[in-house]
């Protein structure tokens, strides 16, 4: 249960007390050549003063993994119904996300190996607070060649292709080439970090008849890093830069970075703090502020703090606070949000 000062992530600033409950059932099978993972969960979200935002969100997932033999990989299917405040469209939205992902790893010789992936994702909006949002189908594939530089570090080059088709019959094609390092990136910092160049080519004309979007090209980056500074202090960070398609069929050039720290006070008690920020540039005719010739530009900053306590092997509690502020040249998208929540969880 908790408090949210802005449940729509907009300048409307509708506040409310929130309550949610979740039950989850997991199944794992590790016998034989293929492992099986299945998961079902059901979440109930309730608002005290704004019951029109109440939702019930089920989630289904099924995964298979092969961890032995020359060729290894995973195949995962999922269907997720989620309800959340979307800071891009500044609405509380409910959607179904259907996803299929295949990942494969194949060794060539002792120091070289390939990894490949294919993903199909379909995002279907079912409740958009009366605003028209587009559904989006995404096909993405990538191929990476890894070189084992040492026992601790691999170098890789990746080509990624992505095709996105929205329900307005407009689409985009993305090509990206990047270089990176995996494992021990530097000193005692582990993870994966890559950077490269990408190009986006939009096709089709929106129903409103606006001019076709231009082609875009820019740098791309992706990274996830971790560092165990001491026995009690762990740091994690991430960075990303990529194109994406918004629920209003606009292209955004998104840059984001996060940094988080977790300190274990004692075995049962830990505290955490994190911060992040980024930029969303809305490009082309679809990114124009209504009634103007100005492209929308958002900057955001967020920080959070939490305290977690483990009563025993079965019961955990967490108190968390999150601050989020968005600055935008589109007045409706400029907002400040505070959330405070207390959660209890048990696993059997």
pLDDT digits (tens, 9 = 90+) for 285-325: 878 888 888 999 999 999 999 999 999 989 999 999 999 99
Both tokens of residue 258? 């996060």
The total of structural domains in the chain comes to 1
Residue 21 belongs to some domain of the structure = no
Residue 296 belongs to some domain of the structure = yes
Residue 280 belongs to some domain of the structure = yes
Residues of the chain with pLDDT under 50: none
DSSP string, 192-233: EEEEEEEEEEEES--TT-PPPPPPEEEEEEEEEEEEE-SSSE
pTM value is: 0.90
The CATH number that applies at residue 293 is 2.40.170.20
Q: From CA 229, how far away is CA 218, in angstroms rounded? A: 34
Residue 235 belongs to some domain of the structure = yes
Q: Which domain holds residue 342?
A: 64-346
Residue 3 belongs to some domain of the structure = no
Residue 281 belongs to some domain of the structure = yes
Strand partners, 3: 17, 340
Q: Return the pLDDT at 213.
A: 65
Planar angle of CA 34, 40, 42, nearest 5 degrees: 170
How crowded is residue 290: how many other Cβ atoms within 10 Å of its Cβ? 7
Residue 318 belongs to some domain of the structure = yes
Residue 118 belongs to some domain of the structure = yes
Element (H, E) at 320: strand 315-328
Q: Return the pLDDT at 128.
A: 65
> Of 255, 300, 301, 299, nearest to 275 (Cα)?
301
């Amino acid at each position: 249960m908790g408090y949210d000062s802005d449940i729509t992530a907009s300048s409307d600033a509708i506040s409310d007390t929130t309550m949610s409950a979740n039950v989850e059932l997991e199944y794992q099978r590790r016998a034989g050549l293929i492992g099986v993972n299945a998961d079902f969960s059901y979440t109930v979200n309730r608002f005290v003063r704004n019951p029109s935002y109440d939702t019930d969100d089920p989630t289904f997932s099924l995964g298979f993994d092969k961890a032995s033999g020359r060729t290894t990989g995973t195949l995962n299917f999922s269907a997720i119904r989620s309800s959340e405040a979307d800071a891009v469209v500044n609405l509380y939205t409910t959607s179904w996300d259907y996803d299929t992902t295949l990942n494969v790893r194949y060794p060539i010789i002792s120091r070289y190996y390939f990894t490949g992936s294919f993903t199909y994702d379909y995002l279907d909006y079912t409740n958009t607070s009366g605003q028209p949002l587009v559904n989006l189908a995404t096909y993405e594939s990538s191929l990476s060649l890894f070189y084992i530089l040492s026992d601790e570090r691999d170098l890789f080059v990746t080509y990624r292709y992505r095709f996105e088709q929205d329900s307005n019959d407009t689409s985009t094609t993305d090509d990206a080439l990047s270089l990176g390092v995996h494992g021990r990136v530097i000193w005692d910092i582990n993870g994966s970090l890559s950077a490269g160049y990408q190009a986006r080519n939009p096709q089709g004309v929106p129903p409103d008849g606006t001019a076709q979007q231009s082609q875009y090209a820019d740098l791309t980056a992706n990274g996830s890093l971790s560092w165990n500074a001491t026995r009690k202090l762990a740091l994690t960070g991430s960075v990303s830069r990529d194109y994406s398609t918004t629920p209003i069929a606009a292209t955004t050039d998104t840059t984001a970075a996060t940094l988080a720290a977790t300190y274990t006070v004692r075995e049962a008690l830990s505290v955490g703090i994190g911060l992040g920020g980024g930029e969303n540039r809305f490009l082309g005719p679809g990114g124009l502020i209504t009634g103007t010739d100005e492209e929308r530009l958002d900057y955001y900053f967020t920080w959070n703090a939490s305290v977690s306590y483990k009563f025993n092997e079965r019961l955990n509690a967490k108190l968390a606070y999150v601050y989020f502020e968005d600055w935008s040249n589109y007045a409706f998208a400029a907002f400040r949000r505070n959330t405070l929540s207390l959660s209890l969880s048990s696993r059997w």
